[in-house]
Structure 1
Amino acid sequence: MTKLNEGVSLSDVQKMLAQDYNIRMTYLELRLLADDLAVNWEKHDKPKPTPAPEEQAKTPEEDAESFDDAEDLDDDEDFEEEAEAEEEEEEAAEPGATKVTIDPAPRPGMILSGMVRFASGIRAGWMMNRMGQLSLDLPDDDTQPTQEDIQGFQEELRRVMQRKDEEMRKAANDGRTKVTINPVVPAGVKIGGNVEFASGAKGDWYIDNSGRMGFTPAEGSTNPTQEDVGMFQVVLQQELRKHGYGV
């Protein structure tokens, strides 16, 4: 008992009994016997580790807050799942969109051309001649666009051309395209002048008595691009109005 009060552990006593007295006892048996002894067992109790802040017991109020937080988290997850489900339903319900592109350089003999992907998924080329008439270059598998396809194509082409025209007008006002009107023009020409395109190409432009426009590149100059021509037409209209010509 003296040794136990001095702080010797029961494990040490168990070893001592076995080595010095050849008495073998289990730890449980020794512990039951020691309960009847006047020993301060608090000396032998190992201090309980202080729980980490996140592991410490929570007050009822904190438990309630944690429960509310968990409910809020569940609500957030449910909301996100519902939002994703709604987006998937909207995407599934939305019909295929019509896509129209414009070629940088139109096909020969055309003022505009490009490609179209109809809402039904059919792909084709499209062209517009100088009379403003549209035609389609369809695949050779007898696939034909529906009436809804044609209507959607015309509406989308109108939007694309309007957007391109707005972009062209903004680009035309950056000062890179310069147009002049000559006071004297050759026979057969109603009005004419010079032009320096944004790309650096140069030449003479004219409108004949029939109202047709023509262009003669300057010697050594490259041909204007389709974008050059579009910006030239915008600037030319501005110059004609400025000089009192009705356009």
Structure 2
Amino acid sequence: MSKSLSEDQIATLRKWAEDGLDLNGIQKALTEQLGIHMTYMDTRFLLLDLGIELRSPAEAAPAADAAAQEVPQSISSGQLKVTIDEVKQPGVFLSGQVAFPTGARATWLIDARGSVSWEPILGEPSEEDLNAFQKELGHIIRTQLGRI
């Protein structure tokens, strides 16, 4: 698909991404403004093919807002680091990754119903790690709800 786009259309896609449009917004703009109908995944693959990275409106915000996106908390021998994904998945309230002080890593998400799930990437966190993660996730949820 990327080969059938004109240079002007590609430039328009880049501008939308730089202006902070998310994947859903770009998909909608493709249809409404350029008459190009694509699925969510096809839109994502198009952006990947073109090397276009999405920028969230938070990237243009002051450093204080950026700090709220990535909140470390010191515990025992290391740091718990919880990050929030910039691109929201359909049906997902929040998602991100967590790095535990023990070296374990995982991805997590909260769906639209409020259910929390996570998928290990590396190792298994300790019970202390999981308790710290729950506490930090609660803080992140309260912070995010304050922005809605």
| Relative contact order higher in (CA < 8 Å, ≥ 6 apart) | 2
| Interval containing the TM-score (normalised by the shorter chain) | 0.3 to 0.5
TM-score under structure 1 length normalisation = 0.27
The structure with more helix, counted as a fraction of residues: 2
Structure of greater Rg: 1
Please give the TM-score of this superposition, normalised by the length of structure 2: 0.43
